[in-house]
Structure 1
Amino acid sequence: MLDESLPTFRLKSNRLDKHNETLLFSHYGSEFEPKYSLRHLDPQQHGSKNRYAAALYDSYNSDVLYAEALLIPEWTQPSLSAEQIRLNGGVPPAPQPILPSEFALQLYNPDQQVIVRHKPSKWNQSESWDFELPSRTFRAPSASALDRSQNDPSVSENTPRVGLRWKKDSKLNKDLVCFQSGKALNPDGTKKKHKEPDITIAIFQGQKEVTLYEPNLIRVDIEDIKGLEVVLLLGAVVIRDVYFGEMKNTFNLTEGRKASGSNSTSPRPVLSQVATSPVSPPGVPARDPRIPPTDPRSQWELDAETARLKQQIEAEERQRKKRDEAEERRVKQMLEAEENEARRKQAQIDEETERLKRIYGDQQRPQSHPARRYSSDPRQSQPQPQPIQHHYPAAWGSYNAGPYMSGANAQSSFLTPVPQQNQRLKNKSSIFSFGRRRSEEDGAKLSKKRSAVF
């Protein structure tokens, strides 16, 4: 702090939102109290990409907006070198933002726009930022309708303007000093003939504190002192962020993911479904209609993402083909192994068969008797009833049927009864039974001996 008695604003980061800050105010050695709230774009939102914005709100009433600034940088032309495109994975290098030569501060109530122009440093001149403020801002009270129909003095070309300039204090540090560089009365911007000395108005020290040099403020011919204070605070913050900060963080640049064929460990169902369908550029996700049109950087990011997805899909397709070929080879080897195993078992069976033939020889199996053939006539297929034969025992037993008068042999056979044998009776077969052998029929038939007399 330069002097406790001077009005001093200190920037303090917000604990909850790192991208927002609070401007604390102290005067005449008092404690620092919140006075303004400085808000930036949320880097996580899609609408904050590739641009810079800052707004100054009231610290206690968040609906009161004093001023804001929006910077959309210009971009370099993409390189057409084939070598750089090849090294970048088939995509031209990303366009880089160009440091803006000017930016605008929009003030509200009353509405006013202040253009801050950047002048780069030279061998005999340090870097500076020039801007102008009207000496009269508010309209004079009047009951005339003609006066109310006229433009505000802040936008009138006939209103005198006061020239102000932020300038680096030295080349060894980043401190800035704001001077009053003179007045301009002519509409073409030319200044007065006489040159007034520069008057120090504010000092931006350590990029954290803005101190207003109050004794010199009364020499500044500006009606809207509150507007001057807002312009000094917001202008100092924008100069610090844009011209002294990293452009990647300032404009929320996102580096496009490198297109590579390597896939993550976890499979992606969406890419697997896309890989089975014809390759087509992925659709652009739904965007907020309030977002400005696509800038070259966003278009490059879309092209780079499209190229990366195409290469990833092609890599997945190649891996899928490799998996299919490996599976086909595995199935083929499995079938060949099964076929070899079947041939081996068949060879063992043939070898065992030959061994058994050598041991037991080639024995023919007995042929089975052919089945009997029957006529198609159902009456002939039915068995014929056989007559019932009644056998009565002889009264004197059974006698030999030898000759009646045959000597000694005949007598013995006549008087000696022959024991009765159990004769097995067989059913009479059909006349069509030609398949029965004669020997079997003769063995089963009862034969009657003839008498020797008759």
Structure 2
Amino acid sequence: MLDENLPTFYFRQSSDNPLATFLYFSQNGSELGAEYSIQKFDPALPQAKNKYAVAIGDAAAQGVIFAEVLIEPEFQQPTLSAAEIRAQNGIPPSPVPIIPDGFTIQLYNPDQQVSIRGEKSTWTGKESFDFEMPQQSFRLPSSSKLDRQQSDPMASSLTPKIIFKWKRDSKFSKDMTCYMTGVSIGGKKSKEPDITIAMYRHGRQQSVTIYEPNLQRVEVEDRKGLEVVLLLGAEVIREIYLFPSRDSFNLNGAPPNRRKNSRPVAGRSGSPRSDSYAMSGAGGNMAPAKAQSPLTQQPTPPQDARVDAETKRLQAIVQQEERERERQEKEEEERIKKMLDDEERERKQRDEEVARETERLKREFGLEGQDFGPTPSLPTRTTGTPSNQAGPGRPNLQAPQQAPRPSSAGPRPGAFSNWFSPPQPQLQPQPQPQPGRRRGGSGEGKISKKKSTFF
């Protein structure tokens, strides 16, 4: 509960009639009292099939109707895949109702139609429903016949209209808030800051709270009509758009089931009398939103010869698809088997050719060339001076020959000290070993150690 001082209407289901809902009013903490009654059309009647009809009237006088709503949706045949058609044995599914974008509330005394249009925000995903109410609804009293012959003010396009909008609090919220968003004059709308008018709360205690402090800023002459539009519009939006059910449009034409061990309570003071009353619009007097529903033109599928013919045609299509699929699978199996046989036959032919060629080579050459003798020695390579070049793959271990120094006379006897040994004769270069493998027991190829000139 927002505030017990604000005027609040509480929705409570009738214990006697499952089609009736009473609205109890409370303000300033007062006791609850039945103010309005929301009555749905009897689904057992044949004219109620494939329709949604609801009316709001006086809780005490059941015959007084303030407003009503009639919605006839369009129906669309769902498109199914081949697998879904086979799962249903070719039986076409029943048409699916398409929820319209808006609906119309028919007010009485004075007669007025209020269109509520729904839209969804592409940015936030929140849904909103806007409608307009004229500022002047009643004709001014006048004794002139000319004034009485004029049309009603609300029928004129020049009459200013107040724009209201029901907004969902969030994308996943069950609550809504109604705002006054601007004024429309001659089709031109002027945007104004949002002013809170009413709040709908969905929960264990479903209610609509009127924000009375802001009603002084609402320049609507028909305050009773605005109140009825807020209450009935909130109920229709909840049942059709926010929380739709399979039985919203009475597709089966069966009345709702009553709970077990439930029976009318006679003489109960808390629940007013809920006798059903006739709806003028739902019974056919009110112009429907759509000319004629496609579902009402179609009889029951088992009783229609066209439906039987369509069923047989779909079954024939399914059988033909089955045969075509089996034929394609069989052709694919044969193609794969033939391909495998060809590969096996080619492999055997190659093996036979290899075997024949091997036998031919054996007969022609025998086993010659199979034994490998000793490796022949390589010829000696012509190399340069042994002192300047090393054998292939071996480093040059010989000391470079120093050029003789020029002297005028030979060395004197005893010119060398005891610490130095006389000069050694020049070493002859060792013959380079021939490349190839070494022979065992041969002295060739050994490296001689160079003697020191100091010791």
- 1:31 corresponds in structure 2 to 31
**Per the alignment, do residues 97 and 247 of structure 1 end up closer, same or farther by CA in structure 2, a change over 3 Å counting?**
farther
**Per the alignment, do residues 5 and 231 of structure 1 end up closer, same or farther by CA in structure 2, a change over 3 Å counting?**
same
Q: 238-247 or 87-96, which moves further after superposition?
A: 87-96
Q: 292-301 or 167-176, which moves further after superposition?
A: 292-301
Larger RCO: Structure 1 or Structure 2 (Cα < 8 Å, ≥ 6 residues apart)?
2
1:113 aligns to 2:109 (yes or no): no
What pairs with 1:344-359 in structure 2 (closer than 5 Å)?
none
Q: Is the 1:84–1:93 contact (alpha carbons within 8 Å) kept by the matching residues of 2?
A: no
Q: How far off its partner does 1:247 sit?
A: 3.7
1:232 aligns to 2:230 (yes or no): yes
1:241 aligns to 2:259 (yes or no): no
Q: How far off its partner does 1:300 sit?
A: 4.6
Higher helix share: 1
Q: How far off its partner does 1:122 sit?
A: 1.8
Q: Is the 2:127–2:171 contact (alpha carbons within 8 Å) kept by the matching residues of 1?
A: no
Separation of aligned partners in 2, 1:161 and 1:61: 31
Q: Secondary structure at the match of 2:192?
A: coil
**Per the alignment, do residues 303 and 81 of structure 1 end up closer, same or farther by CA in structure 2, a change over 3 Å counting?**
farther
1:136 aligns to 2:136 (yes or no): yes
Unpaired segments ≥5 residues, structure 2: 255-282, 310-455
Q: Is the 1:94–1:300 contact (alpha carbons within 8 Å) kept by the matching residues of 2?
A: no
1:166 aligns to 2:162 (yes or no): no
- 1:200 corresponds in structure 2 to 196
Separation of aligned partners in 1, 2:79 and 2:126: 33
- 2:250 corresponds in structure 1 to 252
Q: Is the 1:77–1:95 contact (alpha carbons within 8 Å) kept by the matching residues of 2?
A: yes
Q: Is the 2:301–2:307 contact (alpha carbons within 8 Å) kept by the matching residues of 1?
A: no
Q: Secondary structure at the match of 2:167?
A: strand
Separation of aligned partners in 1, 2:122 and 2:303: 41
Counterpart residue identity of residue 220, structure 1: V
- 1:98 corresponds in structure 2 to 98
Q: How far off its partner does 1:66 sit?
A: 0.3
**Per the alignment, do residues 111 and 219 of structure 1 end up closer, same or farther by CA in structure 2, a change over 3 Å counting?**
same
Q: How far off its partner does 1:177 sit?
A: 0.2
Q: How far off its partner does 1:48 sit?
A: 1.8
Q: Is the 2:128–2:166 contact (alpha carbons within 8 Å) kept by the matching residues of 1?
A: yes
Unpaired segments ≥5 residues, structure 1: 257-288, 312-454
Q: How far off its partner does 1:16 sit?
A: 1.5
- 1:322 corresponds in structure 2 to none
Q: Is the 2:77–2:93 contact (alpha carbons within 8 Å) kept by the matching residues of 1?
A: no
Counterpart residue identity of residue 231, structure 1: V
Q: Is the 2:302–2:308 contact (alpha carbons within 8 Å) kept by the matching residues of 1?
A: no
- 2:45 corresponds in structure 1 to 45
Separation of aligned partners in 2, 1:51 and 1:35: 27
What pairs with 1:393-404 in structure 2 (closer than 5 Å)?
none
Q: How far off its partner does 1:45 sit?
A: 2.6
**Per the alignment, do residues 86 and 134 of structure 1 end up closer, same or farther by CA in structure 2, a change over 3 Å counting?**
same
State how many pairs are aligned.
277
Separation of aligned partners in 1, 2:72 and 2:18: 22
Q: How far off its partner does 1:302 sit?
A: 1.3
Separation of aligned partners in 2, 1:67 and 1:144: 31
Q: How far off its partner does 1:196 sit?
A: 2.0
- 2:184 corresponds in structure 1 to 184
- 1:214 corresponds in structure 2 to 212
Q: How far off its partner does 1:141 sit?
A: 0.5
User: Which structure's CA Rg is the greater one?
Assistant: 1
Counterpart residue identity of residue 218, structure 2: V
**Per the alignment, do residues 89 and 16 of structure 1 end up closer, same or farther by CA in structure 2, a change over 3 Å counting?**
farther
Separation of aligned partners in 1, 2:115 and 2:307: 43
Separation of aligned partners in 2, 1:246 and 1:8: 25
The CA RMSD measured in Å over matched residues stands at: 3.0
**Per the alignment, do residues 90 and 307 of structure 1 end up closer, same or farther by CA in structure 2, a change over 3 Å counting?**
farther
Q: How far off its partner does 1:140 sit?
A: 0.3
Q: How far off its partner does 1:295 sit?
A: 3.0
Q: Is the 1:95–1:300 contact (alpha carbons within 8 Å) kept by the matching residues of 2?
A: no
CA shift digits 1:290-314 (9 cap, x unpaired): 6999733344551245479979xxx
- 1:71 corresponds in structure 2 to 71
Q: How far off its partner does 1:197 sit?
A: 0.9
